[in-house]
Amino acid sequence: MCLIFAGAAAGCLQARKLRERRDQLRAFLKFLSEAKTEIAFAAVPVDEILERYGRCLHFLAPYFYARESGKEFTQAWKAAADSRTLSPRDRTLLRDFGNGFGATDMQGQQAHCSLYEEMTRKELEDAEEDYRKKGRLYRMLGVCAGAMLALVLI
C-alpha cells in the first residue's frame, strides 16, 4: 500500500507543477493588466507598479530581495527571471518583458504591456491545455506505477 501511495504522491506532485505554472501565468497576466492601467491613467513609475502589484507574484521574490540589497533594476530583474521555479519558456518571457519595462515613454510602455499580455495569454492557454491533458495522466501514471512496483515486489 505504501508503494501505491508513494506512486500516487509522485504523480500528484507532477500534476501540481503544471497547476502552479498555470496559476503563475494567470497572476502575471493580471499584473500586466494592472501595470498597463497604472501607466495609462496615472503615469506611475515602474518601481512603484512592481511594489504595488508584484509582491503577490512569488516568482518575483528574487527581484525584491535584490532591490533591497541595493541592486539596480536590470540586475534585480535578471535575478527574478533566472529563477529555477519557472519553466524555460516562462523565464524567457519574463526576462524579455523586464528588458523593455520602463525603457520607453508612456505609450511605448502601454504597447509593451499589451504585447506581453498577448504572449502570456498564449502561454496560459498552453499551460491550461497541459494541465487538462497531462495532470490527470500524471496522477494515474503514479498510481499505476506504484501498483506495478508493489506487484513486482510481492
What pLDDT shows up at residue 46?
82
| Tens-digit pLDDT profile for residues 75-114 | 888 888 887 778 888 889 998 998 888 777 888 888 988 9
pTM of the model: 0.83
Residue 10 has pLDDT above 80, yes or no: yes
Report CA dihedral (32, 20, 95, 45) to the nearest 10 degrees.
Answer: 30
Q: How far is CA 52 from CA 36, 46, 49, 79, 149, in A?
A: 13, 10, 5, 19, 50
The grid coordinates listed for 68 are 533591497
Residue 151 has pLDDT above 80, yes or no: yes
Backbone angles phi, psi at 104, to 5 degrees: -130, -175
Angle at 11 between CA 7 and CA 16, to 5 degrees: 145
